[in-house]
Structures are given as structure tokens and as C-alpha cells.
Structure 1
Amino acid sequence: MAQHMMHFDPLSDIARFDPMRSMDDFLKDMGFKDALKDFGRPSPIRLDVTESEHAYRIKAELPGFKVDDISVDIDGNRVSISAESRQEHEETNGQKVVRRERHTGKYFRSFSLAQDIDADKAVARYRDGVLDMELPKLLGGSAKRLQIS
């Protein structure tokens, strides 16, 4: 007779409560399916940084951008890369868009190097979705020892 008894756990429904799942469902119902999609993810601009005695070389992946949509700013040892993709207004000839997955928006990546950059001698080229920068180190740097009086 004990074989046919069911085990009852009064807290089983509480144990299954997942507040984040409820929040996800709420956002989906409100039309914000992907509101938190990129939260906590690394920057979409991926880098390779190499260093020689006299310069840094940076290769940044920026596929699908035009040269005019990319900018690089150098301030001392800080390098900032930004890129913006805009939605092009395509002629659809009466067709409706069924799916649009290409992202439009701004991307930004900023990082510091160990030594200041000689911005006047820095060179950047963009080809095949890769931004290739040669950033010469500022020889002698801008460090200065102050005389104390």
C-alpha cells in the first residue's frame, strides 16, 4: 500500500520560481525581446595588439564598414576607435522586408597602451574589414622631473 502513495512537497512550486525568467517574459511581452542582449558582452571591435621596440601595431576587426564611418583618436597613450553603421534606404521595388538582421548603430572601443603614441607619425589603413594601425612610440615621452624649490 505504501507503494501507491504520492510524495507531496508543499514548496515545490516556490522552488521553481525564477525571477529573471519572469523579467525576460515581461520584457518580451512589452516588445523588448533583445533589450538586454548585449549586456555584459565584450566589445564587438576585436583587437590584436603587437609591440616592437619603436611602435605598436593594432589590427581591429571592423567588417562591413566604409572608411568614412570609422574614426581613430589618439590622446597620449590612449587610443579610441569608433565606427557607425547606418541603415541604407534600399529600393525594394514593392517587396516587403521579411527579415533584417544587419545591425545599425555605433561601436566604440578605447584602450591604453604602456607608452605614449607619436600621433603625428601614426598611420592607419582599412582593407577587407580590418583596420591596421602603425602607432610609433613617442621617444623620450612627455615625462619631466620637476625641480623643487
Structure 2
Amino acid sequence: MNLLPRNTSLFDFDNLFDNFLAPTTTQNQGDVPFAPRVDVSEKKDRYEISAELPGVDKKDIDVTLDNGILTISAESRYEDKEEKEGRVIRQERRYGKFVRSFNLGTDVKDQDIKAEFKDGLLKLNVPRLEEKQAVSKRIEIH
């Protein structure tokens, strides 16, 4: 099982300086997905994955397992509120789609994964299966 994120790249400028270059005002950022912050812990019999999903309703979260790829996706909707007094000086919260994927391997089944969402934190418990050792056999040449 390989729990390395599938969307990691060498030049991840979005997180390079922890959003150092974030715009000073933000409107709806559309359909541009970004990855929520995730903690992955290894336990004796399982992996624990915790993902921050601030401002997201439980009904807007989708966790799928497809061909060994665990994908967490959710959507945070823009709050369109009218300012009666004053104006918004700075708005840093992100709106739009959250996406994060992990390669679990094909041996993990969806019914074995336990999910819980509370206070903006999604917690997943994924069983830790024994890795199959690669078998090397010599092929005789005739």
C-alpha cells in the first residue's frame, strides 16, 4: 500500500510559500480544485487520514475508492453576503472544490474504510494490509 498523495508534484507553487502569493481579495474561485491539508498516521493495523475541510457541509463531501485510488472531494460554497456598513478589506478563505487522492492498492475494499466527519475534520480509518512480496522466478532459456 502506498499512501503518497497522487497529486504531489515537484513544483507545487500553490503550497510553496504556504499561499504567500494569495490575492488580497478573493471572489468565487470557480472550478479550480485545491488540496485540503491532510495528516496521515500509521498505526499497527490501520492508517488514519485526517483532512481539514473548513466551511464544508457533510452533504457536500464525497469519498470514493476506484481501482485502489481513494479520493476525497468536497465543495465549499461562496457566501454572498451584502455589507450594509463598511466593506471587506481582505478575504482569504477559499471557495470551490477540494480534491485529494491516495493510492491504497487494489486489496483494500470500500466497506473496510471507516469515515467520520465532525467540526470540519474528516477522519478516515483505512485497514493496513500486509504487502505482497514480489516473487522473482528465473526463466530457463532453451
Could you tell me the TM-score, scaled by structure 2's length? 0.56
The structural deviation recorded for 1:138 is 6.0
Q: For 1:1-149, what aligned pairs fall within 5 Å after superposition?
A: 40-42=13-15, 44-90=35-81, 92=83, 94-95=84-85, 97-99=87-89, 101=91, 102-113=93-104, 116-137=107-128
CA deviations on 1:42-85 (whole Å, 9 max, x unpaired) are 45412121233432211111122111121111124321111111
Provide the identity percentage. 38
Aligned counterparts of 1:52 and 1:115: Cα–Cα separation in 2: 20
* Number of residue pairs aligned between Structure 1 and Structure 2: 102
* Deviation larger for 100-109 or 58-67: 100-109
Q: Is the 8 A contact 2:42 2:48 kept in 1?
A: yes
**CA-to-partner distance for each residue in 1:80-106, whole Å, 9 max, x for gaps?**
1111111234355x5574346132211
In the alignment, residue 117 of structure 2 is paired with which amino acid?
Y
Aligned equivalents of 1:74 and 1:120: distance in 2?
10
Output the amino acid matched with 2:112: K
Q: RMSD over aligned Cα, in angstroms? A: 3.0
CA contact 1:56–1:135 (8 Å) conserved in 2: yes
- Would you identify which runs of 4 or more consecutive aligned residues in structure 1 move more than 4 Å? 94-97, 137-141
Q: Which ranges in structure 2 are unaligned for 5 or more consecutive residues?
A: 1-11, 16-33, 133-142
CA contact (8 A) 1:124 1:131 kept: yes
Q: Which of these two proteins has the greater Rg computed from alpha carbons? A: 1
Greater helix share, structure number: 1
Question: TM-score normalised to the size of structure 1?
Answer: 0.54
Structure 1: gaps of 5 or more residues? 1-38, 142-149
